[in-house]
Amino acid sequence: MLKNEKAVVVFSGGQDSTTCLFWAKEQFAEVETVTFDYGQRHKLEIEVAAGIARDLNVPQTVLDMSLLNQLAPNALTRTDIGITQEDGALPSTFVDGRNLLFLSFAAILAKQKGARHLITGVCETDFSGYPDCRDIFIKSLNVTLNLSMDYQFVLHTPLMWLNKAETWRMADELGAFDFVRSRTLTCYNGIQGDGCGECPACKLRRAGLEQYLNERAAYGEGDHTHA
């Protein structure tokens, strides 16, 4: 049904959004990506995302969101920014409503490109306190976007109810396990793939990976990993 339609994936080059990109490529005839440059701690994040988009042959638009840094001081006092369900390195300065802004800009871009499907890797399962990652927010925003632009957007959140192990399973089922594992950037220290192994993002990612690999071994599903 959706095979003849066009979609835009909110894409950071991390595990979650890269898995979403593979998912979208299966679901839609035409897929593009949008990546937000908000002065990431590691410029490498943008380069990694660009490299993945290029290798998967999907157009990428990088939008300058550096204005977020003007709002950052409000967020610098947060003590809970160490762990998140969002993929990619955390911004050094988390800002309330960041996802609201990103998805709104993504929608404006998508409409210009004739795409009504928007895909985001937000996830409520590992919800760690960001209200604009919740399913109810996404549904609400979907209505608001449609009203604001008189357009029939459909927001897709394929990871919304998956835990980290299940997200690895999805990548595997999409034939993307090795690609996602080796190419994506999650580590706060800017190390691609399995990362530094020490930072909170790496620990979270590795815990999910190990859980998935254990489950896969236990149920005898496939054997193409050498971990």
Nearer to Zn ion, 39 or 82 (CB): 82
Nearer to Zn ion, 88 or 158 (CB): 88
Nearest approach, Cβ of residue 4 and Zn ion (Å): 41
- Picking from 184, 183, 188, 200, the residue whose alpha carbon sits closest to that of residue 41 is 188
Nearest approach, Cβ of residue 102 and Zn ion (Å): 23
**Residues flagged as binding site for ATP:** 11-21
Nearer to Zn ion, 196 or 227 (CB): 196
174-193: which residues touch Zn ion (CB under 5 A)? 187, 189
Instruction: For 99, list phi and psi in degrees, rounded to 5.
Output: -70, -35
* Structure-token pair, residue 118: 């928007």
Of the candidate spans 5-13, 117-125, 194-202, 206-214, the one that interacts with Zn ion by CB under 5 A turns out to be 194-202
Nearest approach, Cβ of residue 40 and Zn ion (Å): 14
Query: Alpha-carbon distance 194 to 185, whole Å?
Result: 8
Nearest approach, Cβ of residue 150 and Zn ion (Å): 44
- Residue-wise over 35-69: b if at least 16 C-beta within 10 A, else e? bbebebebebbbebbbbbbeebebebbeeebeebe
Site string for Zn ion, 198-217 (x = CB under 5 A): -x--x---------------
User: Which amino acid, one-letter code, is at 71?
Assistant: L
Give yes or no for a contact between 188 and 41, defined as CB atoms under 8 angstroms apart.
yes
Does 196 interact with Zn ion (rule: CB under 5 A)?
yes
Residues of this chain that bind Zn ion (CB under 5 A): 187, 189, 195-196, 199, 202
